[in-house]
Structure 1
Amino acid sequence: MGDARGSNAARGGASARWRRIWFRRQRGRLRQSIRGLFYALLIAAAAAATGFLVFADHVASMQPPIDPKADAIVVLTGGFQRIDQAVNLLKSGAGQRLLISGVHPSTTGAQIRRNTQSSTDLFKCCVDIGYDALDTIGNANETARWIHGNGYQTVLVVTNNYHMPRSLMELRRASPETAFVAYPVVNSDLKTGNWLTDPVVLRVMTMEYAKTAAAWLRQALGAATGTGLRTSNEPRPRLADPTDPATE
């Protein structure tokens, strides 16, 4: 009887020791996993910060070409300053025709013409207004339809400097055979100004960097995306006639 109790006690002691060893190993593995996760997050944060600084430096270095020339011009809506620049480029002969992409359906051609102080003849002959694009992907697809419908080979792209990298990425995806020439609109001097202390500019830059990184990742993975268009069956954007009283 005494031998049996001793044997059971020995087995119990050995079992307890193995449990302690097992728990120590599990704690060690958990610590290693937490440490690995911490280092992975640290590396990811460092990569994101580095990418943001590279993106910001690239955007800050953007300047419009001195003597821009292309078959046509496209401006991606987001403020009348962009449209003013694009219309002035059209007037100066930088392109034969202008597409204003992503215009809200409630905005008429006459309103745009008046805001840009342009002539009726200019808008009637040389300006197309696209109402279908909902976002940058939609801008690219709407522009691609317009390019293919007119047979353009080189297109001047007008948008804000911070928006230009993602815009060119989406445009080249939608129409890879077209040569796109960047004409960035510079709202604030990112090169010399201390924009990191400006919360508005910093927020815009951070959000645009995140969107650009997401677009790059989506294209790298070949992920499917929507058209970004209100409709997809129109062969080209419709032209708003600024002489039509119904558009007033």
Structure 2
Amino acid sequence: MRPARIVVRVVLAFILLAVVASVAGFLQFAETVAALDAPREPKADAIVVLTGGYQRIDRAIGLLKNGAGERLLISGVNPTTSGNQIRKLTQSSSALFECCVDMGYEAVDTIGNANETARWISDHQFRRVLVVTNNYHMPRSLLELKASDTRTEFIAYPVVNSDLKNGNWLRQPGVVKAMLSEYLKYCLAHLRAFAGARSWSGLRGDMAGS
């Protein structure tokens, strides 16, 4: 029975190491997210906001109004939502939307956001782009954006919905669940990038076979 016991102990040791590594990785991820701060005087060629809440869109339109970028892409808009609806919800002028806001209806997930953004950047020849999304979503967003477009400089502008700079969030099940989910997705994105596997585009047109 000794060889069997050795095998069991080795397997248990690997499981223990995997658990410790996962916990350490999650805590490091949480610390990285908590340390994200928006630049005080943001300035770029353009701005992209990844949909997921009107707070993000409000912030991005505010940046556009303040001259942080010349043009704004709202990526991942629901096909049933019009630009006029977003304009009214954000209390923006028609002139601003007509001149400087582009609606992106193709993206269905973060990979799609990255590919939709890369096409938009290529069309307009931008070189520096502000990225507006939730703080916990920012690491994966930047990873996917850089995988889709290696030439552009992406500048993080995180929107903070949950303050992670103290330990209180660990006692909030909803926040912990969201962070764990995002951490797992971030790890999978890293594995895909390492393996060079990127067959899924995350775009509606490709899903429809067009």
Residue from 37, 55, 58 that aligns with 2:29: 55
Q: Count the aligned residue pairs.
A: 207
Which residue is equivalent to 2:55?
Answer: 81
Q: Which runs of 4+ in 1 moved over 3 A?
A: none
- In 1, Cα distance between equivalents of 2:198 and 2:45: 30
Amino acid across the alignment from 2:137:
H
Describe the superposition over 1:8-66 as per-residue Cα deviations: whole angstroms up to 9, x where unpaired. xxxxxxxxxxxxxxxxxxx2222111111110010011001000000000101111000
- In 2, Cα distance between equivalents of 1:63 and 1:193: 18
Describe the superposition over 1:179-220 as per-residue Cα deviations: whole angstroms up to 9, x where unpaired. 000000001211025100000000000000000011001111
Structure 2: state its 5+ residue gaps: none
Q: Secondary structure at the match of 2:204?
A: coil
1:39 aligns with 2:18: no
Which residue is equivalent to 1:23?
Answer: none
Kindly, what percent of the aligned residue pairs are identical? 59
**TM-score, normalization: structure 2?**
0.96
- In 2, Cα distance between equivalents of 1:74 and 1:53: 28
- In 2, Cα distance between equivalents of 1:95 and 1:36: 55
Query: Greater CA radius of gyration, 1 or 2?
Result: 1
- In 2, Cα distance between equivalents of 1:224 and 1:110: 34
Structure 1: state its 5+ residue gaps: 1-26, 233-248
State the shift of 1:224 in Å.
Answer: 3.1
Q: Secondary structure at the match of 1:73?
A: strand
Residue from 40, 53, 73 that aligns with 1:99: 73
